[in-house]
Amino acid sequence: MKKYQWMKWLFITLSPLAIGVLAIAPSRAKYPDKPINFIMPWPAGGGTDISCRPLVSAASRILGQPIAMEYHPGGSTAVGMGILKVKKPDGYTIGMTSVSSLLNQHTRKVPYDLLKDFTPIMQYAEYTYGLVVMGDSPWKTLKEFLDYAKANPGKIRYSSTGPGDPQSLVMTSLGKRLQIQWTHIPFEGGPPALAALLGGHVEAYSTTMHVKPHVLAGKIRLLSTYGEKRIPSFSNVPTLQELGYPIVAPSFMVLLGPKGLSAEVVEAVHQAFRKAMEDPEFIKGCDAVDHGAIYKNPQDTAKFLVYMNEEIIGLVRELKPQKK
C-alpha cells in the first residue's frame, strides 16, 4: 500500500512540472509569424521608393506576412540608418540603403557604421544618375552649361538629395577639376530637389533618373549621365567619361537588417526578395526610373560593401570635403 501511495505522491508532485515543460517545449514558430516593418530612408514617391515598394509588396506575398513601409528620410539615409541600427535583430524590422550611407560616414558625423552595425541581406539594384536643367534653359549641352558656370562664379545653384549623395560628389569633383564655383542646395530626397528646379530656385539638379517622365516630356533637359555606359532610355545623352571627365558615380541599393540577424532569418528574407525581383511590378518600377536590377547574395553583398567602402574612402580623400 505504501508503494502505491508513494507513486501517487510522485505523480501529483511532478504533473504540474511536466505540464509546464510541455507548455514551453513546442518547437519555435517558423519565421515569419507576424508582420514585418521595412525602414525606407528616402521619402515616399522618390526614385528609390518607386522601385523598392513593389519589391517589398512582392516579397510580402512570398513570405505570407504584411511588410509595412516606414519612411524615415533625412540626412541622405542617416536618419533611417540610425533607426534601423537600434532595432531588435529578430527579423521583424529590416530595411534598405544606398551608397549615400557609405559616403555619409566618411564626410560627416553619423550615428552608425554601415560595415559594423548591420547584417547584409542582398543587393537588388543600382541607380543611374545625370545632370538636368530646365527644358527652356539656354544650355543645350554640358559644355555650354560648364562654360557658363566657369564664366559666372557663384551664379549656378544645383540641388541634390543631400550632402552625402553620389550626385553631389560628382558635382564637387567637376567643380574641382574645372575650378568652378557653384552652390550646392541639398534636400532630403528627390521630390523636393526636383521641385526646386521646376520652381526656378536652382539652375540645375544632379539627380537619379526619377526625373525620367519630365525629361521625356521635354520639361527638363538631360545634359549628361554619370555611369560607365549610356542609359538605354537616353542613348543620345553622353556620359561624363565620353565628354572627357573620368568620373563615374558609385551606386548600389541593398537590403539589410540590424547587426545580429540569424542565418535562418537572413536566408528567409534573402530568398523571398530574390524571388520578388522576378515580379513584373518590380521590373516595371525599375524601368520607370532606370534602376538597374542587380542581384548579389548575402555573402557577396557583404564583400561588395567592403570593396565599395575602400573605393569611397579613396574618392573622398581625393576631393577632401570638410566634415561638418
> What pLDDT, on the 0 to 100 scale, is given for residue 320?
66
Q: Is the separation of the CB atoms in 104 and 250 below 8 Å?
A: no
Give every CB contact of residue 175 below 8 A, 6+ residues apart in sequence.
Answer: 181, 182
Superfamily of chain region 36-127+251-319: Bordetella uptake gene, domain 1 (3.40.190.150)
> What pLDDT, on the 0 to 100 scale, is given for residue 28?
62
| Measured CA angle at 209 (ends 206, 210), to 5 deg | 105
Burial of 30 (0-12, 13-18, 19+ CB in 10 A): exposed
pTM above 0.85, yes or no: no
> What pLDDT, on the 0 to 100 scale, is given for residue 319?
75
pLDDT-flagged residues of the chain (< 50): 1-4, 6-7, 9-15, 17-26, 321-324
Which CATH architecture describes the domain 136-234? 3-Layer(aba) Sandwich (3.40)
> What pLDDT, on the 0 to 100 scale, is given for residue 162?
80
Kindly list the domain boundaries of the chain, sorted by start residue.
Answer: 36-127+251-319, 136-234
Query: CA quadruple 186, 192, 195, 201: dihedral positive or negative?
Result: negative
Measured CA to CA, the distance from residue 31 to residue 235 in angstroms comes to 45
Q: Is the separation of the CB atoms in 251 and 47 below 8 Å?
A: no
Give every CB contact of residue 69 below 8 A, 6+ residues apart in sequence.
Answer: 38, 40, 44, 53, 56
The pLDDT tens digits for 157-202 are 999 988 778 999 899 999 999 999 999 999 988 899 999 999 999 9
Angle, helix 298-319 to helix 166-178, in steps of 10 degrees: 30
Task: Give Cα 118 distance to the centre of its chain.
Answer: 14
Angle, helix 263-276 to helix 298-319, in steps of 10 degrees: 80
> What pLDDT, on the 0 to 100 scale, is given for residue 128?
93
Identical topology for domains 36-127+251-319 and 136-234: yes
The pLDDT tens digits for 134-155 are 999 999 999 999 999 999 999 9
| Residue type at position 180 | I
Residue whose C-alpha is closest to residue 126's, from 164, 100, 107, 103? 100
Residue whose C-alpha is closest to residue 215's, from 47, 42, 98? 47
